[in-house]
């Protein structure tokens, strides 16, 4: 493998010194970019885009041609695992993800196969290898997965949900069935992330998008404990470097201390928490990623710059900050505003790293 030219993202995740604060964006490849929309048009549908290593590689690289991001993220989706378990994922226009089959009882859970990396999900590891080759050491590549709890919500509901009625009913009525499902998912996610690491992912992020809908004890029992289990089973090193793990629980601000103690190297923050307060609560034990409100990108370059300055000031001097949005970029953002964002992070952060 060629040596990494820009490793500030990996260094910041490990709490090491950097020249400027590294930055990337959740959903950095996506519909706000006209070139993404063109490639997606060519692919036909979203899953064909994910399943073609060449096209997945192309859209992964698109944002890096425009912006000075310090990391690339594999273009794929968290729902590839339930799809590989036979649930039949599809995307109907304007409605988000849907499954042909749902998982609602003990029999459904027992019938779920553990996906095979060598066949069912080979398109993901093939994409990782190809992206690494094309990146040619310019920036590191992030692999990812959904958390078991977040994957379970989609598998049980059969789609996105506002109230998570079926998932929560199953959790409260038959916790043992929910645990059996989460346990299976934790095994699948561990194998999946390790396969991405073996194929060349240099850091991994676990997206726990729906952990924040749980009560405090339910978050511990049904979400965090399975993420902890996954982290303990991940390869700690690859290519002679640590492979840092980022845990992002949306709306997880109440539980920062326990997330920081999960074994993760970095806690992803949404925009509702003040990053300086998060740092004061968990100290320098782990690094922090975040946390600008993605909606700021609808404003002007001047307001974006001011908000970047405010967040850098709130975090303060020292190591362990990866700049990001507090959740994914949305489709209606003007691509020029993203340049203003990325450039502001690099320009304004230098004085915090002297
Ligand atoms: O960050 C990146 O650039 C990597 C790519 C990525 C996608 N999805 C591409 C995508 C990542 C990391 C994800 C994760 C994902 N997928 C999550 C967790 C992160 C989060 O945002 O909370 C979730 C919950 C999903 C499930 C999912 N996939 C939903 C709800 C949707 C529909 C979203 C929408 O706005 O319609 C998807 C589709 C999807 N995944 C798109 C992209 C770029 C849009 C598909 C399109 O082109 O129409």
What is the interface pTM, i.e. ipTM, of the complex? Answer: 0.93
> To test ligand 1's pocket by mutation, which of 77, 141, 328 has the most ligand atoms within 8 angstroms of CB?
77
Average pLDDT over residues 197-217: 98
Going from the Cα of 78 to the center of ligand 1, the distance in angstroms, rounded, reads 8
- Compute, in angstroms, the gap from residue 102 CA to the centroid of ligand 1: 20
Burial letters 47-78, b for 16+ CB under 10 A, else e: bebbbbbebbbbbbbbbbeebebbbbbbbbbb
Report the pLDDT averaged over residues 130-152. 98
User: Closest Cα partner for 286 from 13, 17, 25?
Assistant: 13
- pLDDT at residue 202 is higher than 80: yes
Question: What is the residue-wise DSSP string for 262-324?
Answer: TT-SEEE--TTS-HHHHHHHHTTSSEEEEEE-GGGGGS-HHHHHHHHHHHHHHH-SSS-EEEE
Lowest average pLDDT, out of 14-28, 88-102, 199-213, 270-284, goes to: 88-102
Q: Is 261 assigned to a binding site?
A: no
pLDDT at site 94: 76
Of residues 36, 123, 154, 226, which has the active-site annotation?
154
Active site residue 241: no
Model confidence at 95: pLDDT above 90: no
Convert the pLDDT of each residue in 215-271 to its tens digit: 999 999 999 999 999 999 999 999 999 999 999 999 999 999 999 999 999 999 999
Q: What's the mean pLDDT when you consider all of the chain?
A: 97
The minimum-distance atom of ligand 1 relative to the CA of 29 is: 3
30 annotated among ligand-binding-site residues: yes
- CATH code of 8-353, in short, is 3.20.20.210
268-300: per-residue pLDDT in tens?
999 999 999 999 999 888 999 999 999 999 999
Rounded mean pLDDT, 91-100? 88
Q: Looking at the predicted structure, is the pLDDT value of residue 119 above 90?
A: yes
Residue 293 annotated to the active site: no
Confidence category of residue 144, pLDDT binned at 50, 70, 90:
very high
* Residue 27 falls in the annotated catalytic set: yes
Atom of ligand 1 nearest to the CA of 25: 1
Distance separating alpha carbons of residues 220 and 222, to the nearest angstrom? 6
- Are residues 274 and 236 in contact, defined by beta-carbon separation less than 8 angstroms? no
- Alpha-carbon distance of 124 to 137, in angstroms, equals 20
| Cβ pair 140, 10 in contact under 8 A | yes
pLDDT band at 122 (very low <50, low <70, confident <90, very high): very high
- What's the whole-number mean pLDDT along residues 324-353? 98
- Predicted pLDDT of residue 2: 86
pLDDT recorded at residue 1: 77
- 354 labeled part of a ligand binding site: no
Q: What is the pLDDT of residue 290?
A: 97
pLDDT at 93 over 80: no
Write the CB contacts of 192 (distance below 8 Å, at least 6 apart in sequence): 81, 115, 117, 121, 124, 145
Residue corresponding to tokens 């952060």: 349
Examine the pLDDT at 4 and tell me if it is beyond 80.
yes
Strand partners, 203: 142
Q: For the residues 296-310, what does the mean pLDDT come to?
A: 98
Query: To the nearest whole percent, how much of the chain has pLDDT over 90?
Result: 96
- Return the domain boundaries, the chain: 8-353
User: How confident is the model at residue 268, as a pLDDT?
Assistant: 98
Nearest Cα to 285, choosing from 7, 9, 15? 15
3-state secondary structure of 92: strand
Beta bridge partners of 238: 241
Predicted local confidence at residue 252, as pLDDT = 98
């Amino acid at each position: 493998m060629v040596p990494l030219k820009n490793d500030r993202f990996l260094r910041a995740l490990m709490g090491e010194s950097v020249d400027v604060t590294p930055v990337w964006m959740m959903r950095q490849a996506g519909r706000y970019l006209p070139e993404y929309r063109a490639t997606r048009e060519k692919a036909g549908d979203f899953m064909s885009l994910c399943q073609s290593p060449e096209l997945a590689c192309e859209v992964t690289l698109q944002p890096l041609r425009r912006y000075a991001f310090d990391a690339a993220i594999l273009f794929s989706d968290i729902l590839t695992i339930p799809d590989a378990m036979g649930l039949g994922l599809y995307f109907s226009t304007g409605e988000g993800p849907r499954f042909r089959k749902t998982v609602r009882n003990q029999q459904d859970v027992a019938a779920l196969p553990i996906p095979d990396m060598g066949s069912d999900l080979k398109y993901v590891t093939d994409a990782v290898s190809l992206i690494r080759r094309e990146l040619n050491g310019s920036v590191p590549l992030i692999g990812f997965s959904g958390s078991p709890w977040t994957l379970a919500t989609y598998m049980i509901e059969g789609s996105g949900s506002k109230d998570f009625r079926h998932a929560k009913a199953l959790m409260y009525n038959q916790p043992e069935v929910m645990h059996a499902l989460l346990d299976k998912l934790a095994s699948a996610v561990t194998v999946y992330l390790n396969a991405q690491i073996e194929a060349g992912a240099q850091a991994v992020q676990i997206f726990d998008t729906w952990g924040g809908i749980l009560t405090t004890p339910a978050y511990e029992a049904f979400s965090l404990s399975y993420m902890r289990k996954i982290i303990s089973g991940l390869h700690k090193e690859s290519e002679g470097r640590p492979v840092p793990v980022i845990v992002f629980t949306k709306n997880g601000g109440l539980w920062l201390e326990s997330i920081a103690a999960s074994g993760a190297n970095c806690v992803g923050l949404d925009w509702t928490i003040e990053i300086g307060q998060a740092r004061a609560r968990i100290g320098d034990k782990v690094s922090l990623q975040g946390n600008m409100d993605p909606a700021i990108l609808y404003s002007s370059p001047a307001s974006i710059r001011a908000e970047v300055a405010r967040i850098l000031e709130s975090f303060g001097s020292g190591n362990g900050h990866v700049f990001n949005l507090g959740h994914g970029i949305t489709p209606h953002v003007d691509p020029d505003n993203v340049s203003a964002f990325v450039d502001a992070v690099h320009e304004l952060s230098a004085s915090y790293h002297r």
